[in-house]
């Protein structure tokens, strides 16, 4: 059984994340999407909202599940018997950050492996932070996120 974890904030999930999830679901027997909660970070969507949205979005792939992690990712995935972390990279700047992160995780647990999947060229400009900014000004994000996320963003910013 080849199991991998795909950790991230997913605040909110984009077509870029979903593309990585779809492709990874064909490579691994099981894929766990780990919704991270980092107390230093400010999120637009609560952990529960991100989990609910992701669970709906991964419905087409039966070998993909979504879990919440409020501790160190490495510790969390070890308990699930997973030692493979998957991260997506959009370009060199992502890679530089991801490389450092993978070194840190390896330092925490030398059995932990990080593998990188390059973005699909259609999605390489998609970034949750930029999408939130665009949505906050009422911009059209329909080519960047699924309708479910588009609706959730509209509701968030209508309230603000
Ligand atoms: P984090 O806050 O942990 O970086 P994100 O939700 O921003 O979480 O991203 C989770 C993972 O998905 C990261 O590895 C990130 O590089 C990757 N990712 C985000 N957007 C894209 C995209 N458009 N294409 C490929 N990978 C992406």
Of the residues 17, 102, 123, which should be mutated to test ligand 1's pocket, given the most ligand atoms within 8 Å of the CB? 17
CA of 88 to the centre of ligand 1 (A): 6
DSSP state of 46: -
The mean pLDDT of the chain is: 96
Dig out the tokens for 66 from the structure. 């979504």
Model confidence, pTM: 0.95
Whether the CB-CB separation of 8 and 50 falls below 8 Å is answered with no
Q: What separation in Å is there between the alpha carbon of 87 and the centre of ligand 1? A: 7
Ligand 1 atom 21 nearest Cα: 16
Whether the predicted pLDDT of 126 surpasses 70: yes
Q: How far apart are the first and last CA of the chain?
A: 45
Query: Average pLDDT, stretch 5-14?
Result: 98
Give the contacts of 10 (CB within 8 A, at least 6 positions apart).
17, 33, 35, 50, 53, 54, 128
Question: Alpha-carbon distance 124 to 3, whole Å?
Answer: 26
What percent of the chain has pLDDT above 90? 95
Confidence band (pLDDT; 50, 70, 90) for 39? confident
pLDDT at site 70? 93
CA 94–ligand 1 middle distance (angstroms): 9
SS3 14: coil
């Amino acid at each position: 059984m080849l199991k991998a974890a795909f950790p991230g904030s997913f605040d909110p999930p984009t077509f870029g994340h979903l593309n990585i999830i779809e492709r990874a679901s064909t490579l691994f027997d099981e894929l766990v999407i780990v919704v991270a909660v980092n107390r230093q970070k400010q999120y637009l969507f609560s952990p529960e909202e991100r989990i609910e949205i992701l669970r709906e979005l991964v419905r087409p792939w039966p070998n993909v599940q979504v879990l919440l992690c409020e501790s160190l990712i490495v510790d969390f995935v070890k308990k699930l018997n997973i030692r493979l972390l998957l991260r997506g990279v959009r370009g060199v700047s992502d890679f530089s950050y991801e490389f450092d992160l993978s070194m840190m995780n390896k330092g925490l647990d030398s059995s932990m492996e990080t593998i990188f999947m390059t973005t699909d060229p259609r999605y390489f400009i998609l970034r949750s932070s930029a999408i939130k900014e665009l949505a906050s000004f009422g911009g059209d994000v329909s080519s960047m996120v699924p309708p479910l996320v588009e609706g959730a963003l509209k509701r968030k910013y209508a309230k603000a």
